[in-house]
Amino acid sequence: MKITRLTFKNFMGYRSLSLPDNNESFPDGLILISGKNSYGKSSILQGILLAFFGPKIFSNRNAESFISYGQDKSELFVYFILDNKQYYIYRKWRRTGSTTSKLFERDKTVNSYHEIKQFNIEKFFEISRDQALNTVFVRQGEVEELANKKGAELRQMIIDLFRLNIIEDALKYLDAELKSKNNKKSNLGKTIVPIERIESDITRINEENKENKDILTKKKNLLVELERKSKSFPSQNLISQLENLYKQREIAKEKYNSYKTDFETKIKKTELNIRDLKSLNDFDNKIEFLYKSKKEIESNKEILEKKKIATFRGMGKTKGRIEDIKNKIDQLGKSLKFFETEDKKKIARCPTCQSELTQEHYDEVKKQFNQELNNNYEKVKKISQIIKDLEEEIKKLQIHLDELNNELRVIEGLKENFENYNKHNLLLNEIQENIMEFLKGNEKKFKDTSPENIKILSLEIIKTKENLTAIQNEIKQKLHDIENNDKRILELNDEIKKMKNLEKRIDELEVDIEHINKAKEFVRRFVTEYMVVTRLVKNIALKTDKYISDFTLGQYNDLKLDLSGTKKTGLSLKIKDNFNGEYESIEVLSGGDRTALGMALRLAISELMSIIRPTKDSPKKNPKIDFLLLDEPLAALDEVRRERILKHLTRSKIFSQIFLITHTAIPLDIKAHKILVEKDHTTGISTARFEKQVILL
């Protein structure tokens, strides 16, 4: 892989950066980035990494901090060649938090770029962000960090770099399996029921069944007895007929006695003799006689009533004449006015004829009127006596008539009672005949035909039927209980088999759990002892030896990486000091030597990553990024070691490009391409230009 061009807009100190100029491309080999402190050298390397992997590659910084002061957005363009194809990656982010990332591929046929719509940058380069940070990019002051890593940390870094996370995946898988097995075991443990408890339930149900079967036998025997007894009874229809006849007789007898008693009681309250009323004809003759007497009395009463009315009329006329006489006397007295004549006689003139009327004549006329009035008064008195006598006779006749009516009502009531009790007497006799005829036809079917016994027999039949029904229901229920218990026993036996299977599964799960735990321990040791120590560490040591001996002028070589820690899962570094012949731990090395060792380790690991596959399941294609970004790796080295490392880097063909930041003096015999960084202190804006190495022929 080769980076060809860079374009930064509003990225940190760079408002606009475009390298190289004039549509040139970065060459292969070593490219030195020079400039004073804080000019923006590291920003160029950070921009490359950020363009490829996004802001998350720098976990301790947020994306907004990379945007130039006073600007809203930042944009990065990094052009590169990979597998003989030209690409560029574009990233843009704003202070609002919105981001854009796009990958473009050049189409040679039309000489233009088209966007690759869906891409995953880590899969595209076949390297993760963490791997890139630990191999491709060496930050300022971190060169010796690799040499300083301890035990398990160094082991884990090697595992991550060489993608031994397939082993971690295996461990995760085993952990998941272990968790799954434990969960299954726990869940099975929650559902399991002690077999002893199930067997106890079976024993209890068997005992219950035995008891039910004993009860069932007794109930069946009782049922046979009740059925035999039930068959010995007369049919319910016959009993019902006989009971109905007895009931009819009882009702008829009750009504007969009631009407007879009522008749005898009523006739005692009369003057009639019961011996004179033995038949309906006697009643009819008596009633006929009474109606005849009643008619005669009513006729006499009617005659007297008419006579009374006529008498009332005569008395009315007489009273009318009395009133007329009174009026005449009164009018005569009022119309005559007497006066005395010369001869001392009192006279008056008649108002009608004007004739003279003497006092004597007036008195005579008045006397005659009074005499007539007295005669009429006497006549009224006689008439009143006649009316009184008539009313007395009418009253007597009415009394006699009322007595006759009352007697008629009584006789007719007695006749009705007589008819009723005779009718019910006939009905009673008829019912009795029906009973006798019924008993004659069914005599053999009844032991005792008395009404009392029939009632007892009927109740006994009802009770027997109820007992039969109850026994049948009990037998049915017991059979149902036995059937259910048999089913339950089968279920419990199945449950025992199920529990045994569960116990077997739990035992199998426990074996699986033990095997998984052993497998996890084996995998851990396999990774450390075989994968890391046997394969990778040997290769890392061999490659590192090639670099460290050259970087330290032959003082150090033969790097050893051994197992460390109580569980022997970590790594420790030792290196042979050829001056004293001893293997020294890294802690005793000087700062410059640790830096040289760290550089050697990084170069060795980066080289191995491009050529080695630790396992057959490692990616078939090794990481495609084969350039290095080195930020001030030489600051802690003396001039000799610095020169030897630079010479090695210029000669190296392992890496397509090496971008190396330095502000230290570069030996004159080191020929490399350069990016020169400058800064305007008035504006704080950084600029850079590319100087290609001139090769003299």
Q: Where are the domains of the chain?
A: 240-445
Q: Report which DSSP code applies to 535.
A: I
Residue 275's pLDDT band, with cuts at 50, 70 and 90, is low
Beta-bridge mates of residue 106: 113
Average pLDDT over residues 230-241: 74
Q: Is the pLDDT of residue 135 over 90?
A: no
Percentage of the chain lying above the pLDDT 90 cut: 22
The pTM of this model reads 0.49
The answer to whether residue 71 scores a pLDDT higher than 90 is: yes
Q: How far apart are the C-alpha atoms of 420 and 259, rounded to whole Å?
A: 6
Determine the longest span between alpha carbons in the chain, in angstroms: 223
Of 162-171, 351-360, 423-432, 624-633, least confident by mean pLDDT is 162-171
Q: What is the pLDDT of residue 697?
A: 44
Q: Which tokens is 136 given?
A: 């491709």
Closest residue by Cα to residue 506 from 183, 53, 100: 183
Residue tagged 């029921």 (tokens): 193
CA-CA distance, 531 to 616, in Å (whole number)? 12
State the Cα angle at 272 between 268 and 276, rounded to 5°.
115
Number of alpha carbons in the 13 Å side-chain half-sphere of residue 93 = 20
Tell me: the pLDDT tens digits for 582-638?
888 877 888 778 888 878 887 777 777 666 655 555 555 556 787 888 888 777 777
240-445: CATH topology is Helix Hairpins (1.10.287)
Residue in the block written with tokens 């963490």: 130
Of 7-21, 350-364, 518-532, where does the model show the most confidence?
7-21
Contacts of 658 (CB under 8 A, 6+ apart): 29, 30, 31, 627, 628, 630, 649, 652
Reported confidence tier of residue 276, pLDDT bands at 50, 70, 90? low
Strands 112-116 and 556-564: what pairing? unpaired
- Residue-wise pLDDT tens digits, 78-88: 999 998 999 99
pLDDT (tens digit, 9 = 90+) per residue, 637-677? Answer: 778 887 888 888 888 777 888 898 887 777 777 788 999 99
Whether pLDDT at 307 is above 50: yes
Residue 105 — pLDDT band, cuts 50, 70, 90?
very high
Bridge partner list, 113: 106
Q: In angstroms, what CA-CA distances link 350 with 47, 355, 364, 403, 666?
A: 173, 5, 15, 65, 197
Segment 154-173 shows an average pLDDT of: 66
How far is Cα 453 from Cα 447, in angstroms, rounded to an integer?
A: 9
C-alpha 680/C-alpha 685 separation (Å) is 6
Rounded Cα distance between 649 and 606, Å, is 13
Residues 6+ apart with CB under 8 A from 466: none
pLDDT at 137: 79
- Packing angle of the helix pair 280-335, 359-441 (nearest 10 deg): 160
When pLDDT is cut at 50, 70 and 90, the band that residue 13 belongs to is very high
Angle CA 663–138–649, to nearest 5: 70
d(CA 693, CA 173): 53
Average pLDDT on 159-179 reads 72
Distance CA 43, CA 48 (A): 9
Helix (H, G, I), strand (E, B) or coil at 116: strand
Q: What is the pLDDT of residue 153?
A: 61
pLDDT at 246 over 50: yes
So what's the pLDDT on residue 150? 58
Query: For the ranges 20-34, 48-62, 149-163, which has the lowest average pLDDT?
Result: 149-163
pLDDT one-digit tens code per residue, 523-560: 766 555 555 555 667 777 787 888 888 888 788 888 77
Confidence of residue 379 (pLDDT cuts 50, 70, 90): confident
**Mean confidence (pLDDT) of the chain:** 80
Q: Give the containing element (helix H, strand E) for 81.
A: strand 73-82
Tokens linked to 53? 């992997």
Maximum mean pLDDT: which of 153-167, 190-204, 351-365: 190-204
**pLDDT value at residue 272:** 67
- Measured between alpha carbons, how far is 87 from 203 in angstroms, rounded to an integer? 82
Q: Per mean pLDDT, which of 214-228, 268-282, 410-424 is the most reliable? A: 214-228
Q: What are the residues whose beta carbons fall under 8 Å from the beta carbon of 398, sequence distance 6 or more?
A: 301
List CB contacts of 571: < 8 A, sequence separation 6 or more: 151, 152, 154, 155, 158, 528, 532, 533, 537, 561, 562, 563, 564
HSE-up of 499 (CA within 13 Å, CB side)? 16
